[in-house]
Amino acid sequence: MPFRTETVRNSVHVELVRSIYTTLTPTTIMSVGFVLSFSAMAFAAHDIILMACALIGVLSSGARIAVLILGRGKSAAPHLDVHEARLLEQRFAIAYYQFAAVLGSSAAYVFTLEPARFHMLTVCLLVGYGAGAAAGVGLRPRIAIPSMIIGIVPATVAAALRWDPIYWATAAMMIALLAGGAQSVLARSAAASIEIAKRLTFEALARRDVLTTLPNRLALREWFDSHIAIADNRALLAVHCLDLDKFKPVNDVFGHPVGDGLLKAIATRLTNSLRPGDIAARLGGDEFAVIQRDLRNVEEAAALAQRLRSAIAEPFSIQGHEISVSTCVGYALCRRSSADLDELLCSADQALYIAKNTGTGVEYNDVLMKAMGRLAA
């Protein structure tokens, strides 16, 4: 499948969501600072509302930290998809917004009280919160900017309503800092998105065959390591190696553009012949490999080998030319719990060699299965 713009966009979104789940330490620091500050003010002023703010802050902070801890594992999963990423982002945003609302309403109440030292402490909290939101969640402006507004604006309005030039200046500075922070968040997010998109695109291109867009050897190895080698079960796994018969004459007679078109069409047919969860890769030239997993018996692998041959045997229409080619297939099987890609490819390639030289078309190398049988005995 080509690495399309939509794929890049979704991959960038996933990476940005991962970033917000790395904020446990600053979140904890902010939560502790909020609770300690409001507890100190409540004891100093003997104010039950401030104490209530501190208690609500404990609950709000606990919810926010719980969301981070529970979602951190999922966000770091190597195969996190965009749908799950959106759910994680939504949970994070809800927790972030509710804490911002608690902070904003509590800070606004502080500015209705008289002790000026309370106001100084509250401004420190607000500036710290705004800086933390910009730094920790800045790659997701839709979360960072609304949270900054919810957390800072109520206290700013309360400060401005005190009808004191010093407080007006304080409110003006807080609004200026908020505007500057929002602009910085937008710029940083845009730049980060571009850089992540470039990195992901280059990484994807390095793992794709340029001509057919199938995975290459590197991508096949990484897929195997993440989907097969770590599995701990006894299901059967098959690796098929195949190449085309008399492909060189196609290039000689029709030219390389037609040969390239034929390889692209063959890649499409191979992909369409597979079940969801299996993979086809181009190893080079006219050589391909297919990995088939979670088989119940050897016959399923034999059926796929014949299906691949039949799919390629159907005539191709390439740039106005009708071209027919055939393929030979060699395959090998083993248990997933003992799978080694190099051994499987080597065994399947040996079977392919026999299939080509004997004219049988399909051959099965059972050496690995026999070896496992001896070990089990």
For residue range 117-161, list pLDDT tens digits in order: 899 999 999 999 999 888 888 889 999 999 999 999 999 999 999
Q: Is residue 315 part of a domain?
A: yes
Give the DSSP letter of residue 42: H
Q: What mean pLDDT, rounded, does the chain reach?
A: 89
More confident residue, 337 or 304: 304
* Domain end marker among 181, 206, 231: 206
List the single range of 6-10, 219-223, 288-292, 293-297 with lowest mean pLDDT: 6-10
Residues 189-195 have a mean pLDDT of 89
* CATH classification at residue 235: 3.30.70.270
Indicate whether 190 and 248 sit together in one domain: no
Tell me phi and psi for residue 114, to 5 degrees.
-90, -35
Nearest to 217 by CA among 133, 283, 294: 283
Give the DSSP letter of residue 23: -
Q: 368 falls in which pLDDT band (50, 70, 90)? A: confident
Residues 90-114 have a mean pLDDT of 94
Give the DSSP letter of residue 229: I
Indicate whether 201 and 221 sit together in one domain: no
Q: Total structural domains in the chain?
A: 2
Nearest to 173 by CA among 186, 159, 187: 159
Share of the chain above pLDDT 70, in %: 95
Q: Is residue 68 part of a domain?
A: yes
Q: Is residue 250 part of a domain?
A: yes
| Helix/strand/coil for 233 | coil
Please give the structure tokens belonging to residue 237. 């796994």
pTM more than 0.85 = no
Indicate whether 188 and 325 sit together in one domain: no
363, 351 contact by CB (below 8 A): yes
- Confidence (pLDDT) at 3: 46
- Confidence (pLDDT) at 230: 55
| Helix/strand/coil for 239 | strand
- H or E element in which residue 293 lies: strand 287-295
d(CA 338, CA 233): 9
Share of the chain above pLDDT 90, in %: 60
141, 185 contact by CB (below 8 A): yes
Q: 229 falls in which pLDDT band (50, 70, 90)? A: low
Decide the pairing of beta strands 362-365 and 326-335: parallel
Does residue 376 have a pLDDT over 80?
Answer: no
- Confidence (pLDDT) at 79: 79
* Domain end marker among 152, 186, 206: 206
Q: Is residue 211 part of a domain?
A: no
- Confidence (pLDDT) at 2: 44
Q: At what angle do helices 82-110 and 116-136 cross, to 10 degrees?
A: 170
Q: Which residue has the tokens 């196609």?
A: 250
Q: 232 falls in which pLDDT band (50, 70, 90)? A: low
Indicate whether 137 and 283 sit together in one domain: no
Nearest to 28 by CA among 71, 54, 52, 58: 58
224, 336 contact by CB (below 8 A): no
Indicate whether 122 and 242 sit together in one domain: no
Q: 231 falls in which pLDDT band (50, 70, 90)? A: low
Indicate whether 158 and 56 sit together in one domain: yes
- Confidence (pLDDT) at 151: 93
Q: Is residue 212 part of a domain?
A: no
Does residue 372 have a pLDDT over 80?
Answer: no
State which residues form the domain around 246. 217-376
Residues 68-97 have a mean pLDDT of 90
Indicate whether 69 and 105 sit together in one domain: yes
Q: 233 falls in which pLDDT band (50, 70, 90)? A: low
326, β-bridge pairs: 245
Q: What share of the chain is helix, strand, coil (3-state, %, to 5)?
A: 70, 10, 20
Residue 122 CB contacts under 8 Å (≥ 6 apart), including other chains: 37, 107, 110, 111, 155
Indicate whether 233 and 109 sit together in one domain: no
Residue 330 CB contacts under 8 Å (≥ 6 apart), including other chains: 240, 241, 242, 348, 349, 350, 351, 352, 353, 354, 355, 362, 363, 364, 365
Does residue 90 have a pLDDT over 90?
Answer: yes
Does residue 263 have a pLDDT over 60?
Answer: yes
Residue 66 CB contacts under 8 Å (≥ 6 apart), including other chains: 95
Does residue 296 have a pLDDT over 60?
Answer: yes
- Confidence (pLDDT) at 373: 58
Residue 43 CB contacts under 8 Å (≥ 6 apart), including other chains: none
Q: State CA 365 to chain mean position distance.
A: 37
* Domain end marker among 147, 172, 206: 206
Does residue 198 have a pLDDT over 90?
Answer: no
Indicate whether 234 and 364 sit together in one domain: yes
